[in-house]
Chains A and B, each alone.
Chain A
Amino acid sequence: MNRITQKMQEDKKLLSIYFTAGYPNRHDTVEIIQTLEANGVDMIEIGLPFSDPLADGPTIQESSTSALKNGMTTAVLFEQLKDIRKTVTVPLIVMGYFNPMLQYGVEAFCQECHAIGIDGIIMPDLPLDVYQDEYEAIFKKYGLLNIFLITPQTSDERIRQIDAASEGFIYMVSSASVTGSKSGFGQEQEDYFKRIASLDLENPQIVGFGIKDAESFGQATQFAKGAIIGSAFIKHLTANGVAGIHHFIRNVRPL
């Protein structure tokens, strides 16, 4: 069974962390992953940096720009990760934009992910219909789950479509925004969370965007299986480095 699917069956609210590979330093990737796992993080999204991250706010844009300046590329990332399964057991997801994957070759990319032990892929700008028409067979061949996003604007009909096409979980974007632009949740989010919960979907939902601490993690996971933190983690990493990861995670999920 895919590690993501397995993880979803655990009887707890899941904490997932996103970080940009190659940031703050090119060779931090493996240490960040190991430290996150050591601190009890349930799932990790490894951001493959892109020059033009359309769905991201300034924090992830800047970390991506720095990572690219540090020399991070798809090939470098795969090289860094080649032995990761010797030390890490949590589900690993590669998150990025579609163009670098397309240039690497979709099949070659998937093959490499499979060899490393990557469990899933999130490509926000690879839309559902294109995925199903052209790439689903390749993802499946290499055992990779493609994770789709939904937002407060996604219609119930489309959510059902996405649910039917999904495996693992659905990435539930908390509000109409790019990453890192809002923090804290209001009535609007709660209504949205409840609406999605009432749809009784096949796949569990993991909430992303706008989560930064224990309070927002608690709110997000009241109706969902888990939550993803990205921008807030990267900000903390910028200020405190890899050594501060322990502190950040304890703040979100006290022991």
Chain B
Amino acid sequence: MEHTTKEALKNDLYGTRGGFHADEKGYYGVFGGAFIPEMLYPNVAELREKYLDIMYEDTFQKEFHQLLKDYVGRPSPLYFAKRLSEKHGAKVYLKREDLNHTGAHKVNNTIGQILMAKRLGKSRIIAETGAGQHGVATATVCALMGMECIVYMGEIDVARQAPNVARMKMLGAEVRPALSGSRTLKDATNEAIRDWINNPVNTHYIIGSAIGPHPYPDMVTRFQSVISEEIKWQLKEKEGRENPDYVVACIGGGSNAAGTYHHFLDNKDVGIIAVEAAGKGIDSGESAATSALGKMGIIHGCKTLLMQTQDGQITEPYSISAGLDYPGVGPMHAHLYTSGRAEFYSATDDEAMTAGLELSQLEGIIPAIETGHAFAIFQHKQFKPEDIVVIGLSGRGDKDLQTYIDYFKLA
């Protein structure tokens, strides 16, 4: 693994490596920033002023990497998917974030942020969750560190992700259903932000995606960038080269994608592919394909692409996967899309479910439905046989078994 100095690590995203990273005010091109009410200003300003210094302290790095290794089980394998490769005519590698403790990539970020919260002297943790993966990952690290944990989750998601609700409770977290709006991820995020306004002193808000006011998108991306950092040396071992031809990830808010792309963004030889959730189809009125349907606006404290009415009201998204059921996308991804750096696709519920079943039966891996969207890329794009394609296998499908069973009538 390449060893980089602390200063280089802190500075590398501020311009020295190109235009796809946050600048000092948290902008990715025209997207990002911190559009927050004054009530949140002290908290967000404190985090902004301290996050890089804390994150790149030697003791922090040591503790973070030790926990990723011993507790999370990193590095996660980079697995050559032979049968999938044969079927689709490309060399397909899977980055196995599904094998992490708690079953998804989310824990990379929550480990980082809980260590951050401790150093900021906070004793109470709040989080939002859609599919429940981030909620579980937050409840887990709160148990680990003995901190109070409150997770906001849309009432609809509480119902459709029951196993994860049970896990959070077992881990000692309080799950508060968000009853407003569409009662999904957007509303859970609103409620978490309101909680933070009401509890500005002792509470740290662990945002689970690459969204929110600066510095969240950048901080979450940095914690998740362990994914692409590992891909580089793992691919070097297997293929004798660090860079694949393509990296593919599903995108809701975009934390798994941000982490999967991170170390490849400045290398134009690596194709960046994003797959959003089209729900029942982009033109169906029931979709979460933000790049196709969104316009620039402000959501949850950042300027980005979001689905909204002409009047600027945020519209209700839809996807079969609770984790992608979000009307916005992280500002970095909005920039990757509008700048043309990344290719954006969207997969319908049907395409994602079919891809999930295919992965299960070709490779013996049941993916989360969110992740199934990334695998639906093969229904949209034909790769060349010699292409090395790395797909972010962001989460496992245990939580989605009931949805799979109902959909494929397996019972």
Contacts and interface: CB of A to CB of B under 8 A. Distances in A.
Q: Does A associate with B in a complex?
A: yes
B181 to A, nearest CB: 7
A149 B37 contact: yes
A50 B313 contact: yes
Q: Counting chain B CB atoms within 10 Å of each CB, which of A50, A101, A103, A154 scores highest?
A: A103
Nearest to A162: B38
A176 B299 contact: no
B38 A124 contact: yes
Interface stretch (A5-13, A53-61, A242-250): A53-61
A135 interface: no
B66 interface: no
B34 interface: yes
B29 interface: no
Interface stretch (B304-312, B346-354, B356-364): B304-312
Interface in A153-186: 153-155, 158, 162, 173, 176-178, 181
A73 B309 CA distance: 10
Contacts of B33: 130
Nearest to A177: B198
A55 B194 CA distance: 6
Given A99-B314, A102-B297, A52 B186 contact: yes
Q: Looking at A101, A126, A151, which has the most chain B CB atoms within 10 Å of its CB?
A: A151
Interface string B282-323: 000000000000010111110000001011111100000000
A55 B39 contact: yes
Nearest to A50: B313
A100 interface: yes
Size class of the A contact interface (CB-based, 8 Å) = 35 or more
B314 A181 contact: no
A148 interface: yes
B89 to A, nearest CB: 44
A51 interface: yes
A52 B190 contact: yes
B267 interface: no
Contacts of B312: 50, 74, 99-104
Contacts of B385: none
B67 interface: no
A127 B39 contact: no
Contact of B35 (A65, A125, A155): A125
Contacts of B190: 52, 54
Given A103-B297, A130-B35, A155-B42, A52 B314 contact: yes
Interface in A71-123: 73-75, 97-104
Contacts of A196: none
B42 A102 contact: no
Nearest to A100: B312
B298 A51 contact: no
Contact of B38 (A68, A97, A148): A148
A150 interface: yes
- Specify which of B180, B301, B311, B315 lies most central, judged by the most chain A CB atoms within 10 Å of its CB: B311
A99 B42 contact: no
Interface centre among A73, A124, A125, A154 (most CB of B within 10 A): A125
Interface string A131-159: 00000000000000000111101110010
Contacts of B42: 153-155
A99 B186 CA distance: 15
A149 B39 contact: yes
A125 B300 CA distance: 10
B39 A176 contact: yes
Given A61-B180, A125-B298, A100 B311 contact: yes
A97 to B, nearest CB: 8
Contacts of A75: 311
Nearest to A76: B311
B39 A98 contact: no
A176 B181 CA distance: 24
A75 to B, nearest CB: 7
B193 A54 contact: yes
A103 B199 contact: no
B365 interface: no
A173 B39 CA distance: 8
Contacts of A104: 311-312
A126 B36 CA distance: 7
A151 B299 contact: no
Most chain A CB atoms below 10 A, which of B198, B199, B301: B198
A173 B180 CA distance: 24
B198 A126 contact: no
A103 B299 CA distance: 13
Contact of A102 (B200, B298, B310, B314): B298
A172 to B, nearest CB: 10
Contacts of A155: 42
B41 interface: yes
B200 A98 contact: no
Contact of B181 (A51, A99, A103, A126): A51
Interface in B186-203: 186, 190, 193-194, 197-201
Contacts of B298: 97-99, 102, 125
A63 to B, nearest CB: 12
B200 A176 contact: yes
Contacts of A177: 197-198
A196 to B, nearest CB: 14
Contact of B198 (A100, A102, A176): A176
Contacts of A127: 34-36, 38, 41
Given A52-B190, A99-B299, A102-B312, 13 more contacts: A51-B181, A51-B314, A54-B197, A55-B37, A55-B197, A74-B311, A100-B312, A103-B308, A124-B37, A162-B38, A176-B197, A176-B200, A178-B197
5 contacts: A51-B315, A61-B180, A99-B297, A104-B312, A130-B35
| CB-based closest 4 A-B pairs | A103-B312, A100-B312, A124-B37, A149-B38
Interface of B: 33-39, 41-43, 180-181, 186, 190, 193-194, 197-201, 295, 297-301, 308, 310-315
